Structure 1
Amino acid sequence: MSQLSTRLSRLLNMVPYFAANPGISAAEAAAELGVSTTVLMNDLNQLWMCGLPGYGPGDLIDLSFSEESIQVTFSAGIDRPLRLTSTEATALLVALRSLVEMPGTADPTAVQSAIAKIESAAGSAAGGTHAAPPAGDEDPVAATVRSAVGRGHALDLTYFSASRDAVTRRVVDPVRIVLMDNHSYLQAWCRQADGVRMFRFDRIDAATELDEPARPPQAALDDAHATDLFHDDEALPQARLAIAADHAWVMDYYPMTEVMVADDGSIEASMRYGSLDWMARLMAGFGPGVRVLGPAELSESVRVRAAAALAAYAQAADHR
């Protein structure tokens, strides 16, 4: 769980905790909550800004606290049992069902149990939703990756890299699981690449949880590109491309840098690639719409591939 999620859970539990323990000292509360006194006092100051819509007097949580005594004077209703409206119950159920369809994000059995409890508690509020599909066995690969992330263990992955058009095996130090563009990804420090990488769950062919703890460097946790599906990796070769105006749509599908747009709408841009064969095949497929300006080995590879394709067409025509 991320630090933000951990703090949110702690803040949500603090109000009923202090309401049940009025006058407790900061040192005693910090010890029971498993945080330092400094962290506890920071959390209490954060609670001043939490409450009900309106966010004025009578809406926000109110506390009286010091090192010697902490007391909740207004809970803003957070200590009352949650009651869902029809809209809230429906939204929550839809969100939970989407988790079942996203591998690795949660234990499907636990999610199905939560769905059943909410449907039972909400009654007619859940009547407008579709019945939940029966819980099935979790994909073994997804279960292994989720376990390694939760327990802080390294992973041995067999992974299909679409950019390199190759299957590789590597040891990674997991950081977290993220959802982007309707896909689940493992964000991890790849020891082979010596950098942060995103591994799409449906491209992980095999995963083995190792006994050794995951040790991603601090840079991996603070990486500004932590959830980027692509960022300019200087370790990869770079192609310079000339893109015709009627092929500008290519920019929407492939990551480009150093983009220059001419008056006639044509574009010059650079693109990183992991495999010469994969890049040559991609460029040949665009025909005259995209030309390779460099490097020379890529231009030659595209020329050879295009010539072989033309020869195959000519041979097929001769046999008609």
Structure 2
Amino acid sequence: MSDTGDKVTRLLALVPYVLNRGVASITETAEAFGISEDQVRKELEMLWLCGRSSGPEDLIDLMFEQDTVSVTYDGGLSRPLKLTATEAMTLGVALRTLTDLPGATSTGAAERALAKIETAAGQHLDTAGVDIRLAAQDRWLGLAQRAVAEKRAVELRYYTAARDESTHRVVDPVQVFTVDGVNYLEAWCRRAEGMRSFRLDRFEDATLLDEPAVIPVDINPKDVSEGVYRPAPEHLLVELSLGPGWSWVSEYYPSETVEPDPDEPAVLRVSLRVADPAWVAALVRRSGGAVSVLAPDWLARDVRAEAASALAAYSA
């Protein structure tokens, strides 16, 4: 925790600590919080400026006498907590959100906390009608981090956008990393018998298994300092034509050559290596005709045939 975070935590705890003792020893307080006596005095003096409003009658008041300190007015901290309906509902929804995060909290703990909130609010909270939708990658981040920390295998159903299909896999996690705001789980995929990087926002379901992760001894975590995808010499070399508005492809993905089309200066001709030709087909489909395949010929034919089949389906 940062120094600022430590100080805030202490400030929140100092007044209840002194209140519980009536008259507290500065020396004992310093020992309890692991700071010097001078720092205890300085931080307690800061609390003189704190309260519910700027009026002196609402500010915390302290009394120092030799090596002791007492709280003469606590600013309402000793009063039982009473939540408004909005505050209680907000906390209740937050608890429900936590229960939707796998491994974030136990159901029993959440129910006990909700009961305490209802007591403070003086009413029953019906949060069942509140629609909570977590970003998929947030939902699975805790599970992925736990799988890596505990070296446990994960069973998952994963959506592959390039092939527009969902597959069932068991993976052995290696690391969790983030690139461009997207969280990934790098793992040994038993189905593919190789290392793969799985986007957490494409997890459709995941279960932390009670079996240890089994990772080949020669595997090292991926270096993602230059992005997730690192082309290899054995990957397919593809040449694309990128129309206006699609030049970002040459900037986002590692390219071997980028040059303007001699006949259309606004169009780029790009060559890059891809691990899966299905990715190219998906890129062409969603470009609305702005991206086309120039080489290899067989891939260009396959993409054209796929597009023609899709259009025929609309005609039918």
Q: Report the TM-score range of the alignment, normalised by the length of the smaller protein.
A: 0.5 to 0.7
Q: Are the structure 2 counterparts of residues 189 and 32 from structure 1 closer, same or farther at C-alpha, using a change threshold of 3 Å?
A: farther
Q: Does 1:54 align with 2:57?
A: no
Q: CA deviation at 1:279?
A: 1.8
The percent of aligned pairs where both chains have the same amino acid is: 21
8 Å Cα contact 1:90-1:126 kept in structure 2:
no
Specify which of 293, 302, 306 is matched with residue 303 of structure 2: 306
SS in 2 for 1:48: helix
User: What letter matches 1:13 in structure 2?
Assistant: A
Cα separation, 2, equivalents of 1:97 and 1:36: 38
Alignment gaps of 5+ in structure 2: 131-138, 189-194, 214-223, 232-237, 254-265
Q: Counterpart in 1 of 2:26?
A: 25
What is the TM-score with the length of structure 1 in the denominator?
Answer: 0.52
User: What letter matches 1:205 in structure 2?
Assistant: A
What does residue range 1-320 of structure 1 map to in structure 2 within 5 Å? 11-21=11-21, 22-26=23-27, 28-29=28-29, 31-33=31-33, 35-37=34-36, 41=40, 44=43, 48=47, 51-55=50-54, 57-62=56-61, 69-123=68-122, 125-126=123-124, 129=126, 149=146, 153-158=150-155, 160=158, 162=160, 167=169, 169-172=171-174, 199-200=200-201, 202-203=203-204, 205-208=206-209, 233=227, 235-237=229-231, 242=242, 257=252, 275-286=275-286, 288-291=288-291, 303-309=300-306
SS in 1 for 2:81: coil
Q: CA deviation at 1:107?
A: 1.9
Q: Counterpart in 1 of 2:234?
A: none
Q: Counterpart in 2 of 1:263?
A: none
8 Å Cα contact 2:30-2:40 kept in structure 1:
no
Alignment gaps of 5+ in structure 1: 134-141, 213-229, 259-265
User: What letter matches 1:97 in structure 2?
Assistant: R
Cα separation, 2, equivalents of 1:108 and 1:2: 31
Q: CA deviation at 1:300?
A: 5.9
User: What letter matches 2:303 in structure 1?
Assistant: A
8 Å Cα contact 1:158-1:169 kept in structure 2:
yes
8 Å Cα contact 1:61-1:76 kept in structure 2:
yes
SS in 2 for 1:84: coil
Q: Are the structure 2 counterparts of residues 207 and 100 from structure 1 closer, same or farther at C-alpha, using a change threshold of 3 Å?
A: closer
Q: Are the structure 2 counterparts of residues 276 and 112 from structure 1 closer, same or farther at C-alpha, using a change threshold of 3 Å?
A: same
Q: CA deviation at 1:276?
A: 2.6
Cα separation, 1, equivalents of 2:184 and 2:31: 33
Cα separation, 2, equivalents of 1:3 and 1:109: 34
Q: CA deviation at 1:71?
A: 4.2
Deviation track 1:281-301 (CA, whole Å, cap 9, x = no partner) reads 3213225443168xx77x767
SS in 1 for 2:78: coil
User: What letter matches 1:171 in structure 2?
Assistant: P
Q: CA deviation at 1:90?
A: 2.8
SS in 2 for 1:282: helix
Deviation track 1:123-175 (CA, whole Å, cap 9, x = no partner) reads 3x447x45689xxxxxxxx99x669759x644443553756777572334679
Cα separation, 1, equivalents of 2:278 and 2:242: 18
Deviation track 1:195-224 (CA, whole Å, cap 9, x = no partner) reads x99745954634247889xxxxxxxxxxxx
8 Å Cα contact 1:11-1:43 kept in structure 2:
no
Q: CA deviation at 1:50?
A: 7.7
Q: CA deviation at 1:106?
A: 2.4
Q: Are the structure 2 counterparts of residues 66 and 291 from structure 1 closer, same or farther at C-alpha, using a change threshold of 3 Å?
A: farther
Deviation track 1:249-300 (CA, whole Å, cap 9, x = no partner) reads xx9xx9x859xxxxxxx998x9x9985334223213225443168xx77x76
Cα separation, 2, equivalents of 1:149 and 1:46: 42
Q: CA deviation at 1:82?
A: 0.9
CA RMSD of aligned residues (A): 6.0
SS in 2 for 1:78: coil
Deviation track 1:12-57 (CA, whole Å, cap 9, x = no partner) reads 333211222333235x335445x4559x759937963984453565
